[in-house]
Amino acid sequence: MKEKKRNPSQSDVSLFQDIVLHLDIVVLEREAATGTFRLHGIPPAWWHQFADTADATTVDLSRCSPFLQEYVAAWLHMGSSELSIVEKSGPWTESDGQGGTMTLEAGTLSIGSRQLLFIERMGSGFEQMHTIVQRARERVLAEEVAVKSHRQVETHLLTQLEASEQTKDDLLALLQHLHLAALVLNEQGIITFASHRGLELLGIEASHVIGLTWESVLHVREDDRAMIHEMIRKSLDGERTRVVHIEQPRPIWIELEIHRDPDSPSRRILVLHDRTELHALRQALNEQTSFHDLVGKSSVMLRTYQLVRDVARVDTTVLIEGETGTGKELIARAIHCSSERQRKPFIAANCAGLTDSILTSQLFGHKRGAFTGAVSDQQGLFEAADGGTLFLDEIGDIPQHVQTALLRVLQEKEITRLGEAKPRKVNVRVVAATHHNLSEDVVRGTFRADLLYRIRIARISLPPLRERREDIPLLAQSFLGQISTATGKSIDRLSSSTLHLLMSYVWPGNVRELKSAIEFAVISCKGKDIIPDDLPPEITDASAPSRSPVWVPLAGGDEKSRLLAALSDAKGNRTEAARRLGVSRATFYRRLVELNIQSR
Amino acid sequence: MIQKKICMLGGFAVGKTSLVRRFVTNVFSDQYRTTIGVTVERKSLVVDDHDVTLMLWDLYGEDEFQRLRESYLRGSSGYIIVMDGTRQSTLDGALALQQTAARTLGPVPFIAIINKADVRAEWEIDDRSINQLRERGWTVLFGSAKLGQGVDELFTLLATQMLKASPPSGVPS
């Protein structure tokens, strides 16, 4: 059916113009004859800024935006069949003539032979869309920045990790290279790392170490364990070390050093130094510098040790001579312990100051009723020491009657208890000791010559300490160790000035006096080292320049004069007189008796 | 008067508008305002003794919101591909855009510029990638719209290459 054409009325024209005005668009129609565009209706105000056609209805597009020109050119370039499907231009921006911009979009329409061009100013809808896209892109940019930042952090961390791994590898390599034995403990005391050398030293595999407590790996003595616990707790960072004996899986001596892990203060690094060889060497050295309980490495003592060994090999009686405190009983014990009698009894008896009958009873025993107070049979020391050794100290003080009985025992090897008639066989080695010169006693007639010859088959003379001063540091250190342990005090050493005093003192009481002095000093000591003030006053006073540093016992009348002079100076006070002479009170008394000096 | 159309291509926020604005008006703004649609700027200059007016088509940056209309490229005598040195992704986008432009325009002159040379330390695009672009025959410049570095050189060089590729009548090519 053919559509009937109708000419637009005046009202239609008016309506069209209102619509164009309200839609804020410009409608242009192309004049086919001239190629120019004619404006339809009344254009919006912005159009005049754009097209510069304030009063004209004919528009020259060559004066418009190149964007619009290209769009129109592309439209017109199409064949007539395509004209009706040209897409919109898309938005473009133009100056609004007031310092700002406006966004426009063009469209085309072909109605029959009429070619219409619409230009629209993009309104609030476009602005909303612009805002959304703007925000979306800003967000994408922000995310890219965040991702980049994260990537940088990740790269930094990876670099650090790599460096850390490298450092760890280097340290491990260094540990292995240095052959450093080390264990690392976590805060629970569990081993988290063990160096190869550490495993090698302990003689165990990593699988038997890692994840275990140090106590289950290091098998040490109870007191060492307590000390290591304390060291781990305090961790004075290697300031303290301790040599401990590891019992399992293989016995070794290690010096343990404990450090804080610098990166984690609650973790500990245990450095283990193998001291097994050193310990063995020290032990060997100790054996050279001591013999049983005797300490000393002076040539005279080394000769004495050899003499003891020689004497121990035979079963003869032995006479040990030496001043009081020189260690005569220790020599007797050493002989016994080195001899074949070592598993049998060692009996020591001091013969000084005992009466004839008491000494006889003690040595030979008695029968019940033999004398008043003998309420039961009693064996004597000879019988008690049967098979072993009887040490008779101060044999020079034995009364004559007992000397005779003793001689018979040594000859017959049998004893007769007091109150009994029948002798008893005994197998006893007699080791006698005296501070007397028994030869002089024989001359004086106070000691039987035949007994002397009987007991002096073998003879050992012990030197006084003042004649082996080089042994004083060794002795002092040995006593310090024993006494510190016994008293529970942690005193490590003697100061050099203390040692100097000990070396210069005369030691009339010999080794026994030295031991007493160290005991005194340990009790007095308040620090880690023994200082001169800790020593007994007779030692520190003896060092005063006005005093004679060494008292050399004099024989006969000279010594007697000295003792008398000292007594006189001390106004008869024997203790003071002994102090002034630098001898012990006991020695002083003994000398008084020996020299027949009567004092009140 | 010789007129030459140049299209500015590149991902969003690489600095196309900033480069054009710095070249045309010598102005730079730190504030990012995304371009939607097309803005055409004109700038006249003398190239090899010829007055040349460059019609600079500042096209919107391509992303998932806006795809490049190939029709906008038509009639261009050359194009500029802009990348942001601090974003590696803009290099990948540049490669795709160059292929589109080459397909649409044929072998016309083009220059690539890596913008934001003022923050060179933050660049993700490294020398290796740049060398790879040059090995493809690209002319790659570094510049900063913010500082104005390399901007005049960019447009002048492209104008020179365009004149050389399509000389005005009477000028031997």
pLDDT at A288: 64
Average pLDDT, chain B: 92
Cβ–Cβ of B13/A141 closer than 8 Å? yes
Nearest-Cα distance to chain B for A30, in Å, is: 22
* A92 inside 8 A of chain B by CB: yes
Cβ–Cβ of B65/A133 closer than 8 Å? yes
* A102 inside 8 A of chain B by CB: no
Contacts of B57 in chain A (CB under 8 A): 67
The mean pLDDT value for A482-489 works out to: 86
Q: Is the pLDDT of residue A556 over 50?
A: no
- A279 HSE (CA, 13 A, CB side): 14
Q: Is the pLDDT of residue A1 over 50?
A: no
Q: Is the pLDDT of residue A548 over 50?
A: no
The mean pLDDT value for B79-98 works out to: 95
A134: nearest CB among B34, B39, B57: B34
pLDDT at A366: 92
A482 vs A471: CA distance, rounded Å? 17
The mean pLDDT value for A118-146 works out to: 90
Nearest-Cα distance to chain A for B83, in Å, is: 14
* A148 inside 8 A of chain B by CB: yes
The mean pLDDT value for A228-240 works out to: 74
Give the domains, in start order, of chain A with CATH numbers.
Answer: 12-122 (3.30.450), 179-274 (3.30.450.20), 297-458 (3.40.50.300), 464-550 (1.10.8.60), 554-600 (1.10.10)
> What DSSP assignment string belongs to chain B?
-EEEEEEEEEBTTSSHHHHHHHHHH----SS-----SEEEEEEEEEETTEEEEEEEEEEPPBSSS-PPPHHHHTT-SEEEEEEETT-THHHHHHHHHHHHHHHHH-S--EEEEEE-GGGGGG--S-HHHHHHHHHTT--EEE-BTTTTBTHHHHHHHHHHHHHHHSPPTTS--
Which residues, numbered 58 to 77 in chain B, qualify as contacts with chain A under a Cβ-Cβ cut-off of 8 Å?
61, 63, 65-66, 69, 71-72, 74-75
Across A23-27, A238-242, A402-406, B32-36, which has the greatest mean pLDDT? Answer: A402-406
CA distances from B67 to A89, A141, A242, A586, B37 (A): 14, 18, 79, 121, 10
Average pLDDT, chain A: 85
Residue length of chain A: 600
Domain B2-165 has CATH 3.40.50.300: yes
Q: How sure is the predictor about A552, in pLDDT bands with cuts at 50, 70 and 90?
A: very low
Contacts of A108 in chain B (CB under 8 A): none
Cβ–Cβ of B71/A74 closer than 8 Å? yes
B37: nearest CB among A66, A93, A148: A93
Cβ–Cβ of A133/B36 closer than 8 Å? yes
- What value, to the nearest 5°, has the Cα angle with vertex A485 and ends A476 and A236? 105
* B89 inside 8 A of chain A by CB: yes
A91: nearest CB among B34, B36, B124: B36
Q: Which residue of A has its CA nearest to B34?
A: A134
Q: Is the pLDDT of residue A298 over 60?
A: yes
A178 vs A271: CA distance, rounded Å? 12
Q: Is the pLDDT of residue A554 over 80?
A: no
Q: How sure is the predictor about A433, in pLDDT bands with cuts at 50, 70 and 90?
A: very high
B37: nearest CB among A74, A91, A134: A91
Percentage of chain A lying above the pLDDT 70 cut: 91
Contacts of B75 in chain A (CB under 8 A): 70
CA distances from A35 to A28, A38, A70, A106 (A): 12, 10, 15, 18
Contacts of B84 in chain A (CB under 8 A): none
Mutate to test the interface with A, among B32, B33, B34 (most CBs of A within 10 A): B34
The three-class DSSP label of residue A122 is coil
Contacts of A133 in chain B (CB under 8 A): 34, 36, 65-66
Per-residue model confidence as pLDDT tens digits over B28-74: 988 888 888 899 999 999 998 999 999 999 998 887 777 888 889 99
The mean pLDDT value for B85-106 works out to: 94
